Structure 1
Amino acid sequence: MRVSPGLLLLLPLLSPLAHAELIDDVNDRGELRIVLEANTPPYNFKEGDKLTGFEVELGEQLAKEMDVRSSFITTDEADLLAGVESGKYDVAINHIAKTAELENQFDFSEAYHEKPELAIPFQKGNPAFKSSLDGALKRVKDDGRLKALAQKWLEGTTPVDKSE
């Protein structure tokens, strides 16, 4: 097979099209796919059939700020981060602390809770998505909604350490 030299010059221009930015996918779908385990009150859990908790309400607020709907998917620990890494889910909001090991695998939002320092992992290499997510988080922090959620759900509770 003979390849045209002109075609070879076009390949670098085509490669960005092969890997669309995550924010474009989210906006095209009109939804933010949020994965969690739904087994750790008060962060995220089921009350009957209803998903609820601090991180569920935070995810709803972030999606609203990003002008998309929230879509929650419950899974187990084995699928949680693997699903984010593969693109099956957009983000994991599941009381995940930013560690050096995880930072090699994922990009993270700014922290949404400091003790322990919790943040939202998503696929590496998506700067526009990070900017959008961090902007949404900043607005939720700045207008007091994050503090209100923390007071509603986390005051008087013992933080769960998922690093064990």
Structure 2
Amino acid sequence: MRFLPGLLLLLSQVSPLAHAELIDDVFDRGELRIALEANTPPFNFKEDGKLVGFEVELGELLAKEMDVRTSFLTTDDTDLLSGVESGKYDVAINHIALTAELQDRFDFSEPYRQAPDLVIAFQKGNPAFKTSLDKALQRVKADGRLKALSNKWLEEDRSKPVAKAE
């Protein structure tokens, strides 16, 4: 019997159920760490020293819907996705097109822009985070805020699938 606490501790460390979900980390911190390059107008860039753009405002809306603060972390393209993989950043919102190669490395939100499908990348294996992020995105789409944001920054609405020509 005296080995039981040690055995339970050991099992909890190797059990997949013991792995903390990204959503828990985000809520514990009270902030969503968003990586972007800040050099691609109109998606994300600096204007008079302030971070602005479509994806900046989208990140703010999503964090607000998730009831957390935003923390934008600017990086370069070599650190952007590797930083998400390592946990340095929670998500990358940087006009990332959904590709088969990236699907092997990351999980993604549903698309926030169509043709091509632009998605938010985060670490694999975080289903509760995906659900929370997708629900936040769905609310932003449903009430027209994503459309307004698309019209403001991109001068078009591509938040819905593009109709195919017949």
Query: What TM-score, normalized to structure 1?
Result: 0.88
C-alpha distance in 1 between matches for 2:114 and 2:9: 46
**Could you give the per-residue CA deviations for residues 11-41 of structure 1, whole angstroms, max 9, x where no partner exists?**
4444346521000000000000000000000
C-alpha distance in 2 between matches for 1:6 and 1:111: 46
Match of 1:80 in 2: 80
| Structure 1 counterpart of 2:24, one-letter code | D
C-alpha distance in 1 between matches for 2:104 and 2:86: 15
Residue 54 of structure 1 and its aligned partner are, at CA, apart by 0.3
Asked if residue 150 in structure 1 is aligned to residue 143 in structure 2, the reply is no
Deviates more, 1:37-46 or 1:5-14: 5-14
Task: Note closer, same or farther for the CA distance 1:75–1:8 as it changes in structure 2 (3 Å cut).
Answer: same
Alignment of 1:119-130 (within 5 A): 119-130=119-130
SS in 2 for 1:115: coil
Match of 2:139 in 1: 139
Match of 1:111 in 2: 111
**Superposition RMSD on alpha carbons, in Å?**
1.8
C-alpha distance in 1 between matches for 2:112 and 2:76: 22
Query: What TM-score, normalized to structure 2?
Result: 0.87
SS in 1 for 2:94: coil
SS in 1 for 2:103: helix
- Ranges of 4+ aligned residues in structure 1 off by more than 2 Å: 4-19
Alignment of 1:94-105 (within 5 A): 94-105=94-105
**Could you give the per-residue CA deviations for residues 49-83 of structure 1, whole angstroms, max 9, x where no partner exists?**
10000000000000000000111000000000000
C-alpha distance in 1 between matches for 2:150 and 2:32: 22
C-alpha distance in 2 between matches for 1:126 and 1:50: 31
Confirm or deny: 8 A CA contact 2:12 2:18 kept in the other structure.
Answer: no
Structure 2 alignment gaps of length 5 or more: 157-166
Residue 10 of structure 1 and its aligned partner are, at CA, apart by 5.5
* Same amino acid, percent of matched pairs: 76
Residue 116 of structure 1 and its aligned partner are, at CA, apart by 1.6
Asked if residue 50 in structure 1 is aligned to residue 87 in structure 2, the reply is no
Number of residues of Structure 1 aligned to a counterpart in Structure 2: 154
